Amino acid sequence: METEEFSRSLLDGMALLMRVSLQDLMGYIHRKGISMAQINVLYQLHYRGPCEVLAFTHVLSLSPAGASQLIERMVRQGWVERLDDPADRRVRRVYLTEPGRQLVAESIAVRNEWIQRFGARLTGEEKQQVAQVFQLLVEKIEE
């Protein structure tokens, strides 16, 4: 396979996967009134744990004031809370609340529903082939 054909095939496949996998998620966050910045904060806290407000400035390309305002809105919505760091009381960390954890769990479930729909259209052999291709991609990307 020529390099150009390989690149086009990979780009087309990635674009389709992104569109399909995000379509349901985007509908969910729209129905819940969650912005992309807010879902990013929720996911960051879910996957990485509590962190300082300034940690969101780089991830979200926000100023410190912008990140602080975003977190404050999320505190008012009950999705996160700011608490003193037990190791250093000068530092305040942002934590997920139970409603925030619930939003994350629901959004992950919605995001993954398309995998179930897609898998239902594949034979056992096709599922194995797809899994092998993705395992190879992961291995090669992480090299």
| Domain ranges within the chain, ordered by starting residue | 3-142
- Rounded CA-CA distance 97/75 in Å is 9
Average pLDDT of span 66-74: 95
Q: Is the model's pLDDT at 1 over the cut of 70?
A: no
Hey, CA dihedral for 7, 8, 12, 13, is it positive or negative? negative
The answer to whether 79 and 103 have CB atoms below 8 angstroms apart is yes
Across the range 75-96, mean pLDDT stands at 91
Could you tell me the two tokens for 124? 């056992």
- Residue 4 to residue 53: CA distance in whole angstroms: 43
pLDDT attached to residue 20: 87
Which of the four CATH numbers 1.10.10.10, 3.20.20.70, 1.20.5.50, 2.70.98.10 does domain 3-142 have? 1.10.10.10
pLDDT tens for each residue of 10-69: 899 999 988 988 898 999 999 999 999 999 999 999 999 999 998 999 889 999 999 999
pLDDT over 90 (residue 84):
no
List the structure tokens of 106.
Answer: 């629901």
Convert the pLDDT of each residue in 92-126 to its tens digit. 899 999 999 999 999 999 988 988 999 999 999 99
Give the pLDDT mean for 75-93: 90
Q: What is the pLDDT of residue 69?
A: 95
> The pTM is what?
0.81
Per-residue confidence at 2, pLDDT binned at 50, 70, 90? confident
